[in-house]
């Protein structure tokens, strides 16, 4: 089955928003349904979605293992606080 290129283009533009499920950039129910349908009929876009899900999963695992040094975070927070109050300028 041939899928119109415009469908692929629109799907690619919406795929990250769909996968992120971020409330600040949420797809409408209709957009999500159309994307899900497109992914069910377009192997190329479905493969892209799977690749992106694997990358997200790998980044999540990496982030869970590598936390920033608490002392470095505290120093950065201190610098930011001083800049906000004008002490660091």
> What are 59-82's pLDDT values in tens digits?
989 887 888 889 999 999 999 999
89 has pLDDT over 80: no
Structural domain count of the chain: 1
Q: Which domain holds residue 41?
A: 5-85
DSSP character for 23?
A: G
CA distance 46 to 69: 38
Name the strand (E) or helix (H) holding 2: none
pLDDT tens digits, 16-38: 999 988 788 889 999 999 999 99
Contacts of 27 (CB under 8 A, 6+ apart): 14, 17, 18, 35
Check: CB of residue 76 under 8 Å from CB of residue 69.
no
């Amino acid at each position: 089955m041939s899928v119109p290129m415009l469908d692929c283009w629109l799907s690619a533009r919406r795929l990250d928003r769909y996968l992120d499920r971020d409330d600040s950039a949420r797809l409408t129910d209709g957009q999500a349904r159309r994307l899900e349908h497109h992914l069910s009929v377009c192997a190329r876009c479905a493969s892209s979605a799977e690749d992106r899900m694997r990358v997200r999963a790998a980044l999540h695992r990496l982030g869970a293992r590598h936390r920033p040094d608490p002392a470095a975070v505290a120093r950065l927070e201190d610098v930011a606080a001083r800049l906000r109050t004008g002490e660091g300028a």
